[in-house]
Amino acid sequence: MLLRFFKGTGPGVIFLIAVTFTGVWLTPFLHPSTANHYSSYEYQMPLYEVFTNVTGSGHILASSLSFAITAFLLFLLVNFNTTVFFINVRTFLPALIFTFIVAVFPEYQMLNPAIPAALIFMVALKRIMAGYHTKGIAYSFFDAGILISTGSLIYVNLIWFGVIIIIGIVILRTVNISEIALALLGLITPYLITSGLYYVLGHAPADLFSLILNNLLIEQEAYVFPRLTIVTLIFEGIIVIMSIGYLIMLRTSKKIKSRKTFSLLIWVFIISVAVYFLVPSASVEMIWISGIPVSYFLAHYFIITRKKLVSEIFFSLLFVFVLLIQALYVFL
């Protein structure tokens, strides 16, 4: 019943999703995290330092900024499917599911580098897909390169997702050396500009290189997973595997553009998991990136599957798990 309602597209659905999102985002206001385990706090990337300078030491402004950025990200999640139309139905479920996914880690709802980086990455994905069926050279891959590189100046581990542009070129188009070169130029440009600014401001360009290495290589303090979070992640993992399997099973019945879009999203998910396990500086804040493809996988599964009772149970359990995690974090 709960899922059936949220699968709708009426004003009531939009209102209830907005209420749910606002309710979840009261957590950083009511219980601001004092954890200081992000490597970017000690070695702030240049653009993330701008955020911390604006918000200062108070948590109200930081939480408000986190709320605003996430709200816009949810809009882009819905708009991406509306524009590309790869789920094949108009739905607001990706926004709601993404809210559930990131709410599993309440501490990371507080402003952190991955939040604005996820927003920029979402725009980059839209620019990559804009290259589909573009006649001549698709300059949108250059835009995507600039966006991802700019995002990495906020959250350094976003730079690993530069490879998704090359994968996008391979998936969406006939491989063109000019487009690959444009993508690489886009990735390099923000760092060249930042190096120039460092020099103008009296800093050695080597300082920027040292800052990047510190952000990439310093090992983060291990995140201690509460038992309820572990159970929720196992449950989510089962649903994600099921949804990807269901997606692959229906692959041949989908339009070419839908297949290519989902293929790109699967690669995003694979890269995000690889970065989490292989890169020392990556921690559970990666949920902000991996949550983007996962929200589409689950939305597709919940909408398309014919096993309505099973999907209703899965969705309701996910809803309950998130509410419990949020409640325990605030009140205990």
pLDDT tens per residue across all 332 residues of the chain: 788 889 888 899 999 999 999 999 998 888 876 444 443 456 789 999 888 888 877 788 989 999 999 999 999 999 999 999 999 899 999 999 999 999 999 999 999 999 999 999 999 999 999 999 889 999 999 999 999 999 999 999 999 999 999 999 999 999 999 999 999 999 999 999 999 998 888 888 788 888 998 888 888 778 899 999 999 999 999 999 999 999 999 988 899 999 999 999 999 999 999 999 999 999 999 999 999 999 999 999 999 998 889 999 999 999 999 999 999 998 87
Q: Which residues of 259-281 are buried (b: 16+ CB within 10 A; e: fewer)?
A: bbbbbbbbbbbebbeebbeebeb
Name the nearest CA neighbour of 269 among 291, 250, 247: 291
- Name the burial class of residue 308, with classes exposed (0-12), middle (13-18) and buried (19+) by CB atoms within 10 angstroms of its CB: exposed
Which amino acid would we find at residue 288?
W
Name the nearest CA neighbour of 69 among 22, 119, 17, 28: 119
Count of structural domains within the chain: 1
Host domain of residue 181: 2-331
**CA gap 259, 253 in Å, rounded:** 9
**CA gap 169, 264 in Å, rounded:** 10
